[in-house]
Amino acid sequence: MESSHRNLTQQVVHELGKKILQGNYKIGERLPSEADLCQQFNISRTATREAVKMLTAKGLISSRPRQGITVVESKHWNLFDVDVLNWILLGKPDLYLLRHFLQLRLALEAEAAYLAALYASDDDLIAIASALARMKNATNGMDDTHEADIAYHQSVLSASNNPFFIQLKNFITTALKVNLRFTNRMIAVTVAEYQAHVDIYEHIKNKKPQAAFDAAMVTQRATLAIVNEQIAALEQEKQHKV
């Protein structure tokens, strides 16, 4: 068990969270009662209840006397919670999830670039530059592409100096992980992306918000277009099977 270092409550939170996000319990359905959960996990009511409370706090379930523990509507789920996001990833992410992630990333990252051009401090600029340096090394195999990519995107979000954008760094990082599962990128692709990011950085440094926004938007719409094509191809394939 990979989670043996965590305490009991957190392990149960993890197990139940995974099951809920993977659809083992349908919406509105009852989970096992506290007593049953105690038996299943062989733990005390204290630990069980604390786990239930944590999942409640994340908006996944609701517990009431006599009614038991039920899965609430998915619109109440805190999809931007790090744990919830990771539980989603433990399932089998499909192209539709990838598209949803990209759609939100597009919206966020373009405006983050815009705001960075307006509000980035000197330190923020240095952070972006050093992330870009790592990306360049990565194209030569001297650094990890994925790590460098994450560092770059996080540095731009930080430079927006908006706490809400900053909080979404978790989300973006997770979205990039999903990306990684679908795109086995060639070095060539990475170089092109690197150049695009350099351009955005220049706009940010030169305090040209609209230019930074547009550049980021173009890059992301292109990525999204590729995924949309893949989905279209997939759906056509399904049609043929039927």
Partner DNA sequence: TGAACTCATTTATCATACAATTAAGTAGAT
Partner DNA sequence: ATCTACTTAATTGTATGATAAATGAGTTCA
Q: Toward DNA, which CB reaches closer, 16 or 200?
A: 16
Pick the closest to residue 224 from 98, 85, 64, 63 (CA basis).
98
Residues near 54 by beta carbon (within 8 Å), at least 6 away in sequence: 9, 13
Q: Toward a copy of itself, which CB reaches closer, 63 or 137?
A: 63
The listed partner (DNA, a copy of itself, none) that binds 181, CB under 5 to 8 Å by sort, is: none
CA distance 165 to 159: 9
The listed partner (a copy of itself, DNA, none) that binds 215, CB under 5 to 8 Å by sort, is: none
Q: Toward a copy of itself, which CB reaches closer, 21 or 148?
A: 21
CA distance 201 to 196: 9
Task: For residue 187, give Cα distances in angstroms to 128, 134, 137, 196, 201.
Answer: 21, 14, 12, 14, 21
CA distance 157 to 164: 9
Which three-class secondary structure state does DSSP give residue 229?
helix
Taking the CA atoms of the chain, what radius of gyration do you get in angstroms?
21
User: From the CB of 137, what's the least distance to a copy of itself, in Å?
Assistant: 26
Q: Toward a copy of itself, which CB reaches closer, 78 or 195?
A: 78
User: From the CB of 82, what's the least distance to DNA, in Å?
Assistant: 18
Binding mask 25-64 for DNA (x = CB under 7 A): --------xxx-------xxxxx-xx-x----------xx
Q: Toward DNA, which CB reaches closer, 50 or 214?
A: 50
Contact between residue 125 and residue 159 where contact means Cβ atoms under 8 Å apart: yes
The listed partner (a copy of itself, DNA, none) that binds 69, CB under 5 to 8 Å by sort, is: DNA
Q: Which stretch of DSSP H or E encloses residue 142?
A: none
The listed partner (a copy of itself, DNA, none) that binds 162, CB under 5 to 8 Å by sort, is: a copy of itself
User: From the CB of 52, what's the least distance to a copy of itself, in Å?
Assistant: 9
Number of residues that bind DNA (CB under 7 A): 21
The listed partner (DNA, a copy of itself, none) that binds 106, CB under 5 to 8 Å by sort, is: a copy of itself
Number of C-beta neighbours around residue 50 at 10 A: 16
Could you list the residues that contact DNA (CB under 7 A)? 7-9, 33-35, 43-47, 49-50, 52, 63-69
